[in-house]
Amino acid sequence: MSPRRRSKAPTLRNLHTRRPKVEIFATVIEQGTIDQAKALASLPFVYPHVALMPDAHVGMGSAVGTVFGTIDAVIPAAVGVDIGCGMIGVRTTFTAADLEGRDLTQLRDAIEASIPLSPGNYNDWALAGTTADVRTRELSTLAEATGVDLSHSPKWRQQLGSLGGGNHFIELCLDEEDTVWMFLHSGSRGVGNKIAQQHIRAAQEHCAKHWIRLPNADLAYLVAGTPEFDSYLADLAWAQRFAWLNREEMMDRFRAALADFLGAEVVEQERINCHHNYTVKEDHYGRNVWVTRKGAVRAAEGDSALIPGSMGTASYVVDGRGYPPSLASAPHGAGRRLSRTQARAAYTAEDLAERMTGIVYRPGNAWVDEIPDAYKDIDQVMVDAEPLVKVRHRLRQVLNVKGT
């Protein structure tokens, strides 16, 4: 039997005379997180370096809270399976006085009735004539124009305007001047997950086919000049747009529920929508690179961004400083300290209720793994982030809605 011949891989020039370094912006960080960043930095196409945000912790592919640039290659698992996950926030003209004497459980129930929560729960009503219809038509046009195949998700339209579970949430908050804010955290839902899984497998097959040695399989990559690379970028852009519009759709429904609850139109003073799991082309250190932010927001000078705390803790509205070593990035939240299994073993629904004193939410065991104790201290994260962003508003929650 003749020996198996190795397929010739597309050439990737090593960009470095030495391996790129890892910039760490976290005071509290696990060695496993640093090890993941070093493994990522060892890849020949990473440029200029890997930056670990103040909330960084171990994740799949790369640590959550990782930012890095690549030239002529992308790593699907480093973006993750919730492509385009991010935040949207609206500053209203309402104040705490407008909420006084009102039963916020009624608003909670109205939100839960208008926005499907939890994995697998989608819209079951007709789209015709709705804002969701307009948005799904835009997405259909984009898919057709860029060759995105959505046959793996025949009900993707029903997913637009749905929250999901885990750490995704809808909140009513007050800032330091008692102004009412609407906050929401979600991504590209099931359709984005399927897109990600498909291309993670393609990257692993590419590396196996070309006998490419990797620090770990989750760092499998796709190379420019191949059909797989082009297909991923088209699908990635589509999923990121879906996530953006998904948040816009839910915020519009949240806004309608709040208007009905208060009996007055919601006047928006500001709306901020930002990804924190995505890849985009940017210029850094003299090169045009693919920047991947896995659990990090863009914080270029002039950018506004949202950094939520964990369930029951503070959230922040910030402006970017454009700090070059962070690749113009900032943390995306508090960052997990305990796994969900560890949190459930250590805490109870009663513990969560104590942490949520003064905040309206739906009590129960389903959200114990989201207890603030399972996350890092958001205030310490923001101290570490001082070189990266300027804090404009610090928010406190008065209402929290989550899926399971």
CATH code assigned at 234? 3.90.1860.10
pLDDT reported for residue 11: 47
Name every residue whose Cβ is closer than 8 Å to that of residue 260 and which is 6 or more positions away in sequence.
Answer: 110
Please tell me the total count of domains within the chain: 1
CA quadruple 252, 253, 257, 263: dihedral sign? positive
Proportion of the chain in helix, strand, coil states, percent, rounded to 5: 35, 25, 40
Compute the C-alpha angle 382/388/394, nearest 5°.
40
Whole-model pTM over 0.85: yes
Residue 346 inside a domain? The answer is: no
pLDDT reported for residue 340: 92
* Structure letter (DSSP) for residue 360: B
Is 333 annotated in a binding site? The answer is yes
Residue 351 inside a domain? The answer is: no
**C-alpha distance across the termini of the chain, in Å:** 55
- The 10s digit of each residue's pLDDT in 216-251 is 999 999 999 999 999 999 999 999 999 999 999 999
Q: Which domain holds residue 387?
A: 22-337+375-402
Q: What is the largest distance, in Å, between two alpha-carbon atoms of the chain?
A: 83
Residue 242 inside a domain? The answer is: yes
Told to judge if 206 belongs to the known catalytic residues of this protein, a careful annotator would answer no
* CA distances (Å), origin 143, targets 79, 125, 366: 20, 23, 36
Other Cβ atoms less than 10 A from the Cβ of 344: the count is: 15
CA dist 169 and 101 (Å) reads: 24
Task: Judge contact between 284 and 324, C-beta under 8 A.
Answer: yes
Other Cβ atoms less than 10 A from the Cβ of 152: the count is: 12
pLDDT reported for residue 239: 99
* Structure letter (DSSP) for residue 375: B
Is 311 annotated in a binding site? The answer is yes
CA nearest to 38, candidates 215, 251, 258, 303: 215
The helix-helix angle for 227-262 and 131-146 (nearest 10°) equals 170
Residue 2 inside a domain? The answer is: no
pLDDT reported for residue 77: 97
CA nearest to 174, candidates 68, 96, 263: 96
CA atoms within 13 A on the CB side of 307: 38
Residue 360 inside a domain? The answer is: no
Is 315 annotated in a binding site? The answer is yes
Assign residue 345 a region (left: φ > 0; alpha: ψ between -120 and 50; beta: otherwise): alpha
Other Cβ atoms less than 10 A from the Cβ of 268: the count is: 13
Per run of 10 residues, the mean pLDDT along the chain (length 404 residues) is 44 53 95 96 96 95 95 97 98 99 98 89 77 95 98 95 93 98 97 98 97 94 98 99 98 98 98 98 98 98 96 96 98 92 94 94 92 93 98 98 87
pLDDT reported for residue 129: 77
Is 310 annotated in a binding site? The answer is yes
Strand, coil or helix: what is 335?
coil
Q: Which position among 206, 275, 332, 393 bears the catalytic label?
A: 332
Is 365 annotated in a binding site? The answer is no
Centroid of chain to Cα 112: 22
Residue 358 inside a domain? The answer is: no
Centroid of chain to Cα 244: 11
Kindly compute the dihedral angle of the four CA atoms of residues 296, 31, 42, 388, in this order, to the nearest 10 degrees. Answer: 30
Strand, coil or helix: what is 117?
coil
Is 309 annotated in a binding site? The answer is yes
Is 335 annotated in a binding site? The answer is yes
Task: Judge contact between 328 and 282, C-beta under 8 A.
Answer: yes
* Residue 229 host element (H or E): helix 227-262
Other Cβ atoms less than 10 A from the Cβ of 17: the count is: 5
CA dist 317 and 308 (Å) reads: 8
Residue 17 inside a domain? The answer is: no
Residue 365 inside a domain? The answer is: no
pLDDT reported for residue 19: 65
